[in-house]
Amino acid sequence: MNALSEARIRHAETPTTIKKLSDGQGLVLLLHPNGSKYWRFNYRFNKKQKTLAIGKYPDISLKEARAERELLRKSLREGQDPALKNQADEDMEKRTTFFQVAKEWWEAEATRWTPKHARTVWHSLEVDVLPEIGNEDITLIETPRLLLVIKAVEARDVNDTAIRVLQRIKCVFNYAIQTGLIKINPALPLTGVIRRKKEVHRLALPQSELPRFFQKLGEMQMAEYLRIAMKLQIIWFVRPNELRFAKWEEINFDRREWHIPAEKMKMRRPHIVPLSNWAIELLLELKEITGRSPYLFFGAWDSMKPISENTISYIMARMGYKGKAVPHGFRSLATDVLNENGFDADIVERQLAHVEANKIRRAYHRTEYLDKRHEMMEWYSNWIRQFDSKG
């Protein structure tokens, strides 16, 4: 009884996984890896183990949490289930709603995400989930109710969004299980209910068009560093945003590699792009132009900022390829050329930085086949260079 103190709570080490500190008689404090602390009350009623959320520390002090515990224990002595007794109490109801648990889960996970991704996840819940079930008691939400939520998203013809929303709902319920609020995840039976639509590939430049493409690229009036950007986009076949945010500090000339940090990658894992001889030549030429900026390709009005997200697309449109080819399509071009010329599909996939389904192999994703990827990128760079009259 009363095993905790304000000092012990304030000085408790931040754990690597959720940790419980017990004050006695059912009152516990959950410590999260992001530094957040939440009160829970554990009790048994009708031979069933139950848990109630009391609130967040220090919003709810130790003294206030203990007072709440005594009120809940009084309900038990009177033969009443505290959860049912307090359903009419608006404050208590808010503490056990899907919204409150979703907020706790999001706060715990957000420290592992980029700020942009964290905002995206919460916005997704705000738009598609919370208006439907945000105020409902999370312990009473069942599978058919969740199916209605997901189907409403699918009805907008955004199947991929519906799949992501379902995944986030699953995570919230998993968190509720981990923190003792529920025993079963009602979202799990919905796995596979929404079918992913067949992927529509981005517009890719046909191989036969490459000679004409490089001719146009050489003739068009533009800043030379943008011409280099286009060539590197082709021979590196990275996602356009990865090229856009490339920094000089990520280029290792000694190892002949560009090391892209995880936070810049779509799959949130670090990635390596081997640098061919031609890529090195282009980078050294580029260094003379943009070396004063942290970015390889800086914006037109501010050398401390990257080029805009539409710069490369705009250049291709001016070259006459609007509606015919886009920068992302160079990934498809590289895939076709490399597969047609006998390169191992696994090596191609690693260089494309596609997701690895096998979790064990995923840990080696960044450096797997690196020597062979160096050889492949040198071959592909030379294959592309034959179409560039200046190359």
**37, 239, 264, 385: which one is catalytic?**
239
Interacting residues of 240 by C-beta distance below 8 A, sequence separation 6+: 233, 309, 312, 313, 327, 328
Buried b (16+ CB within 10 A) or exposed e, 336-354: ebbeeeebeeebbbbbbbe
Q: 325, 277 in Cβ contact below 8 A?
A: no
Active site residue 196: no
For residue 49, the cross-strand partners are 44
What's the one-letter identity of residue 375?
Answer: E
The alpha-helical segments, DSSP class H, found in the chain are 6-10, 62-77, 82-85, 90-95, 98-110, 115-128, 130-133, 143-154, 159-178, 210-219, 224-236, 240-244, 277-290, 311-316, 329-340, 345-352, 359-362, 370-385
CA pair distance 134, 92, nearest whole angstrom: 14
SS3 50: strand
Active site residue 239: yes
CA pair distance 197, 194, nearest whole angstrom: 9
Q: 236, 330 in Cβ contact below 8 A?
A: no
**37, 331, 373, 385: which one is catalytic?**
331
**103, 117, 354, 372: which one is catalytic?**
354
SS3 4: coil
Active site residue 364: yes
CA pair distance 321, 313, nearest whole angstrom: 9
CA pair distance 278, 378, nearest whole angstrom: 8
**8, 44, 195, 266: which one is catalytic?**
266
Write out the two tokens for 4.
């905790």
Q: 132, 152 in Cβ contact below 8 A?
A: yes
Active site residue 328: yes
Write out the two tokens for 211.
């000679």
**168, 328, 350, 373: which one is catalytic?**
328
Active site (catalytic) residues: 239, 266, 328, 331, 354, 364
